[in-house]
Amino acid sequence: MSAESRVVAGARAQPFRRALREAAVVAVVGAVTALVINALRPDGLVLIAHTPYQTLVPCPEPGGPVEALDAHDPEITSQRSFLVDARPRADFDRRHLAGAINVPYDWLDPVPEDTLAELARSIAASGATRVVVYGDGGRPDSGEHLGKEISGRGIKNVYFIRGGAPAARALEGG
């Protein structure tokens, strides 16, 4: 590189360096503003969180959102899915999807709090990123309702299998 081209390159780099400096100043001013306002506002956050965020349990209201999955959706048998069977114990014992756990849904009694808490712990420990519930496939469907109940207790990404266990049997080739 000639001396002249070095001078030209240097002249071009000047405004860029200045822009970098200005960007750093803006970032610092933004950060200071943020910290001051956070300190002043009543709902400000503590600067350092001490308890881990419950990323699976963000909303407290009962009856949360659930989405329907088609019984042939490959995501159902994916390792990222945590399967929950909402049917009575006897039906579950007769036949169920591999890896599913049984949480019988009672139309008259809500699922006990400790059962849901245990379920939430199992889901978190499994590393699954979605919960797939299936029930009797009736109208109304116990799977959909259990899904809503689970979702309503704050667990994210809850789905139910459209058509319930009868439709899901196709997954086992039965």
Partner 1 sequence: MRADRIAAWFAVPARWYLGVLFVGACLHKIAEPASFALDIATYDILPLVAVNLVAIVLPWIELYAGAMLIAGWRVRASSLIVAAMMLVFLAALWIALARGLDMSCGCFASQGAEEDPISRVTVLRDIVWLGLALFVVAFDRGLVGLDHWLERRIS
Residue ranges in contact with partner 1 by CB under 8 A: 15-16, 19-23, 25-27, 29-31, 33-35, 37-38, 43-50, 52-53, 55, 58, 65, 67, 80, 129-130, 156-157
Which residues on neighbouring strands pair with residue 69, listed in sequence order? 161
Q: How many helices (H) and strands (E) does the chain have?
A: 5, 5
As measured in angstroms, the least distance from the Cβ of 75 to partner 1 is 9
Task: Provide the minimum distance between the beta carbon of 170 and partner 1 in the complex, in angstroms, as a whole number.
Answer: 23
**Minimum CB distance to partner 1 smaller for 100 or for 155:** 155
- State phi, psi for 130 to the nearest 5 degrees: -150, 155
CB of 88 to partner 1, least distance (A): 29
Least separation in angstroms between CB 55 and partner 1: 4
Which one, 122 or 129, has the nearer CB to partner 1?
129
Euclidean distance between CA atoms 143 and 136, whole angstroms: 7
Q: Report how far residue 154's alpha carbon sits from residue 59's, in angstroms, rounded to the nearest whole number.
A: 5
Q: Which is nearer to partner 1, 29 or 170 (CB)?
A: 29
Q: Which is nearer to partner 1, 96 or 130 (CB)?
A: 130
Alpha carbon distance 157, 48 (integer Å): 28
Q: Which is nearer to partner 1, 27 or 117 (CB)?
A: 27
The Cα–Cα gap between 125 and 122 comes to 5
Least distance to partner 1, CB of residue 58, Å: 6
What is the bridge-based pairing of β-strands 158-161 and 81-85? Answer: unpaired
Q: For residue 68, what is the enclosing H or E element? A: strand 67-69
